[in-house]
């Protein structure tokens, strides 16, 4: 049986003194998936965003610049470059949709490069409608 060390003292076996107020507890940041894609692949990007939402029970939030229906895109009147770079910075992960429309597009490479190289965010390539060999040339060759 633990021994008392006196009034207001800890009991033997206690780990340490009661924790002092360490300030407000920060809630974990909700994941934000940045979906990098060519504007011609907007329907595919929307379907992928819906898949993420449905598979996670609404927990995963996504951003895609082509969204014109809801709040997952660039607001009307906003400066597009600032918005995109802000969302890349906020993102916990980046998914590059690699299609025949996007495989050689510089913006896909730029967004993925900023995310991985400057911000050290995980970047995932999702290959749709092109061969794996086509998708793994250039910068995406480093990803398995």
pLDDT in tens, 17-51: 555 555 565 555 789 999 999 999 999 999 999 99
Residue 142 phi/psi, 5-degree rounding, is: -75, -15
**What's the whole-number mean pLDDT along residues 63-69?**
80
* Strand order across the beta sheet in which 123-127 lies: 61-63, 32-36, 93-98, 123-127
List the beta strands (DSSP E) in 22-92.
32-36, 61-63
Report whether pLDDT(6) > 80.
no
**What's the whole-number mean pLDDT along residues 2-10?**
50
**Of the candidate ranges 6-10, 43-47, 75-79, 109-113, the one whose mean pLDDT is the lowest:** 6-10
**Of the candidate ranges 2-16, 71-85, 120-134, the one whose mean pLDDT is the lowest:** 2-16
As a whole number of angstroms, the distance between CA 13 and CA 76 comes to: 60
Least Cα distance to 87 among 74, 69, 105, 68 occurs for: 74
List the beta strands (DSSP E) in the chain.
32-36, 61-63, 93-98, 123-127
Q: What pLDDT is recorded for position 34?
A: 93
As a whole number of angstroms, the distance between CA 91 and CA 88 comes to: 5
Alpha carbon dihedral 38, 52, 127, 96, in 10-degree steps, equals 50
């Amino acid at each position: 049986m633990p021994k008392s060390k006196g009034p207001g003292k800890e009991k033997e076996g206690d780990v340490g003194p009661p924790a002092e107020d360490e300030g407000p507890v920060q809630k974990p940041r909700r994941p934000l998936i940045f979906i990098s894609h060519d504007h011609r692949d907007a329907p595919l990007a929307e379907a992928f965003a819906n898949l993420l939402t449905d598979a996670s029970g609404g927990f995963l939030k996504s951003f895609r610049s082509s969204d014109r229906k809801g709040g997952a895109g660039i607001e009307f009147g906003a400066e597009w470059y600032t918005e995109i770079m802000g969302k890349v910075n906020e993102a916990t992960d980046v998914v590059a949709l690699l299609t025949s429309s996007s495989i050689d597009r510089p913006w896909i490479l730029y967004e993925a490069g900023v995310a991985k190289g400057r911000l050290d965010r995980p970047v995932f390539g999702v290959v749709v409608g092109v061969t794996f060999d086509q998708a793994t040339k250039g910068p995406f060759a480093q990803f398995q």
